[in-house]
Structure 1
Amino acid sequence: MKQSERIGAKIAYIFSHNHQYIENALESYNLKGPMFAFLLTLSYKDGCSQESLARYLRLSKATATRAIRSLEKYGYVYREKDEKDRRIYRVFISGKGREVIPAINNALQEWNDILLSDLSDEEEQIFRNLLDKTKNTLAEFDIRSSN
């Protein structure tokens, strides 16, 4: 298979540019790597355990711990021990963290606008449908693989 035919390489190229764009856009907030994804997730799933956040974002526990510690250092989140199970830490978004959410959403929207800028409305819809279809295929694969 020729390099130009490798879909994974094209996806990796887009992912790499996505990562770089978002990190540059959020540099003034000290948000690096997956930190913005944790904040976005907590904005609608506040109080999740570190482990469930890692699982939801499909990241290792170690990566989650590092990201949450950094977010805590900058005052974007705080952790509390679970009342029922003291081994579990619940993570909550702070007021400062909520204030950053619009900037994250703006950066993500700007990135989408750049990524889709050369597509017609019809092409964009087809692209989105194909991404949804492949995402669903992978979700089904994950379910089958875990059994």
Structure 2
Amino acid sequence: MQVVISAELAPYRIGSGQYIFLMAIASRQPVTQKALSEKLLIDKTTTAKAIAKLEAEGYVRREPDPSDNRYQLLYLTEAGHEVVPNVQEALNRVKGKTRKGISDEEYGLLLTLLKTVLQNLTDTGEAN
């Protein structure tokens, strides 16, 4: 699936590892890099690399957090706002391909199971 997403997003110079950050910033800007890592359950180093790439492409900008100078707030640039609908359309095309032959109920169950797997992998508790 990541290969298909990469191909869909290639015209925008957004890799399959960056789109999730772009869309998360778009949905809740401003946001700190730390909060983004926590929301997406992705380590800080990976988040930093993805944000740096999106910033280099001109889609994201950083501004100091006026309430805490230790953090920077992430915002979409004008180019970022312009590309988000294109990225969403590309993701919808990929989602459409993945749903072929799968009922809504089956697809819902798949998503539920994948969320459970992700939660299990990120759970730091000792209990099984």
Normalised-by-shorter TM-score class: 0.7 to 0.9
Seen in structure 2, the aligned counterparts of structure 1 residues 20 and 117 have a Cα distance that, compared at 3 Å, is: same
Q: Greater relative contact order: 1 or 2 (C-alpha under 8 angstroms, separation 6 or more)?
A: 2
TM-score by length of 2: 0.85
TM alignment of 1:76-95, pairs within 5 A: 76-95=59-78
Give the superposition deviation at 1:109: 1.1
Give the structure with the higher percent helix: 1
1:114 pairs with 2:97: yes
Give the superposition deviation at 1:79: 0.2
- Give me the whole-angstrom Cα distance separating, in 1, the residues matched to 2:87 and 2:70: 31
Seen in structure 2, the aligned counterparts of structure 1 residues 117 and 76 have a Cα distance that, compared at 3 Å, is: same
- Give me the whole-angstrom Cα distance separating, in 2, the residues matched to 1:84 and 1:117: 48
Counterpart code for 2:36: L
Give the superposition deviation at 1:116: 1.4
1:48 pairs with 2:28: no
Q: RMSD value over aligned CA atoms?
A: 2.3
SS at match of 1:101: helix
Counterpart code for 2:111: L
Counterpart code for 2:23: L
Could you list the structure 1 runs, at least 4 aligned residues long, displaced by more than 3 angstroms after superposition: 136-144
Equivalent residue for 2:108?
A: 128
Give the superposition deviation at 1:36: 0.9
Point out where structure 2 has 5 or more consecutive residues left out of the alignment.
none
SS at match of 1:145: coil
CA deviation digits over 1:62-110, x for unaligned, max 9? 1111111111111101001111211111111111101111111111111
SS at match of 1:26: helix
Seen in structure 2, the aligned counterparts of structure 1 residues 64 and 130 have a Cα distance that, compared at 3 Å, is: closer
Counterpart code for 1:126: E
How many residues matched? 127
Larger-gyration structure (1/2):
1
SS at match of 1:78: strand
